[in-house]
Amino acid sequence: MKLNYYPDTDSLYIDLGKGTSAESREVSQGVVLDYDAGGNLVGIDIDNASRKLDLKELVLSKLPADIQTLSA
């Protein structure tokens, strides 16, 4: 899974890494879920992310994963 923030558009894309989007559904204003051809969730797009989320803090709890930190 990857979190990609785009400051020029203030959008956050959560890439679940399971495939290519074939269909998108807006579930609330500015929140779009992307699904692959099989109906599996592959991504979440959040517009105006800095107004909807606290982007300065990310807490991962009990996830069995390698953590990589990239800076812009």
Beta-carbon contacts of 69 under 8 Å, excluding residues fewer than 6 positions away, are none
**Considering the entire predicted model, what is its pTM?**
0.82
**What mean pLDDT comes out for the span 50-57?**
89
Neighbours of 47 (CB within 10 A): 15
Q: Take residue 62 and report the two structure tokens written for it.
A: 């009990």
pLDDT on residue 68? 72
Sorting pLDDT into bands at 50, 70 and 90, what band is 71?
Answer: low
**What mean pLDDT comes out for the span 10-21?**
91
Domains of the chain, residue spans: 2-52
